[in-house]
Amino acid sequence: MQVIKEVDHPTGLTRKMLKLPVHFYRLGLGRLFGDRLLMVNHWGRVTGKRYQTVVEVIRHEERDDSYLIASGWGPGADWYRNLLRRPRTIVEVDGQTKQVTAEPLPAEEATEIMTGYFWRHRAVAKRMLPRLYGYWVDGSKADFHEVAERVPVLRLAPARPAH
């Protein structure tokens, strides 16, 4: 892996395109994305203001109905930091609203999950990583492993009832 450019959070047209799915969810059309995407509600760490962000589901673990999501822009992404501060939240996925608790995965486990994800989707990853994140990869598992070390993963597990 080689860092070919430093990339900040998206702005301009790229930002608008990435926010487009939020409008689909607000219109009640989130079901169109199935369980491939989900909309997560999160509250600002300082302001307490509610935000909504649509993220890709890396994996849905049916055994416990949890969802694995990743912060492609690293641990500094606002939605990621907000969920670390206030992990109990509500998501919308596949036309359903669910109460969940966000749990960060240990770095080793997150890296293995993301390496597997990149490897399974290597053609797309090889094209998108340089454009979106500034990482040039040769498509090898070693390169994807290096990128995955920079991408934190959260498990959104069904919230346990409060006692």
Q: Which of 97, 23, 37 is nearest to 67 (CA)?
A: 37
pLDDT of residue 37: 97
How far, in Å, are 43, 46, 68, 84, 135 from residue 102 at the CA level?
Answer: 13, 19, 9, 7, 27
For residue 141, pLDDT over 90 is answered with no
More confident residue, 53 or 149: 53
pLDDT of residue 162: 67
pLDDT of residue 163: 61
- Neighbouring CB atoms inside 10 A of 41's CB total 18
Mean of pLDDT values over 96-113 = 94
pLDDT of residue 53: 96
Mean of pLDDT values over 126-155 = 87
* Single-letter residue type at 122: R
Q: What is the DSSP letter of 148?
A: H
Structure tokens at 79: 């939605």
- Neighbouring CB atoms inside 10 A of 115's CB total 20
Q: Are 59 and 66 in contact (CB under 8 A)?
A: no
pLDDT of residue 104: 96
pLDDT of residue 12: 86
Structure tokens at 70: 């990743």
CA–CA separation, 138 and 60 (whole Å):
28
For residue 106, pLDDT over 90 is answered with yes
- Per-residue pLDDT tens over the stretch 33-80: 999 999 999 999 999 999 999 999 999 999 999 999 999 888 999 999
